[in-house]
Amino acid sequence: DTHVKLSNLLPNTEYQLNFVYTTANDSDYFGQFKLTTKKPVYEISVEKVSTYDKYLEYKVVLQDDFNINSLSVSLLFDGYNIETEKNQRVPIVDSFEITENDLHLGYVKRTISLKKYKIKADAVLLLTVDSVESPYGHIDIGSTTSFRIGRDL
C-alpha cells in the first residue's frame, strides 16, 4: 500500500507527475500523470444601492476550501474608470483583510461610498473581484457583475 501526498501546490497550475516503481519480481514500471489545480471562484453581487446616501453595498461569497488573507474589489462604470478631480481615470478600489468571522460566515459584505462621483442613471457599472492574496501568493480572479443604478447620483 503506497500513498502519495502533495502539498503547497499553486492554484490554476498544471503539474506532471512521473513515477518509477519496481514490482516484487524486479520489473520496472513507469507511470506519468498530469494534474491541474483549480483557480478559486468568487461570486460577487450588489446587495443595495442607496441613491439618497450615495453608497453601494456588495457581497462576495468566499470559497469554502480555499483560505485567503485579503481580497481586492474594483468598481468601474460604462467600461471606463471613474474620473477623478485631477482628470485621471482610476477605479474605486476596495482592498481588505479577511477575518475569521468572514471565513465562518462564508461571505463578506462591504460598502463603497459614491458621494464623490457623478454617475448617470443609464451608466453601466461593473463590480469586479480583481484578486486575492492567499498563503500561496497573489491570484488574479476577475469575477464580475454589471448593473445600472437607474437614477443620477
Q: Per-residue pLDDT for 46 more than 60?
A: yes
Q: Kindly report, residue by residue over 78-131, the tens digit of the pLDDT.
A: 644 455 555 555 667 888 888 888 888 889 999 988 887 777 778 888 888 999
Cell of 76: 468601474
Q: Which pLDDT score is estimated for 59?
A: 94
> How large is the average pLDDT for residues 61-80?
80
Residue 75, judged by CB atoms within 10 A of its CB (0-12, 13-18, 19+), counts as buried
Q: Which pLDDT score is estimated for 87?
A: 55
Q: Which pLDDT score is estimated for 86?
A: 59
Supply the pTM of this predicted model. 0.74
Q: Kindly report, residue by residue over 16-42, the tens digit of the pLDDT.
A: 988 887 777 777 777 888 988 888 888
CA atoms of 106 and 108, how far apart (whole Å): 7
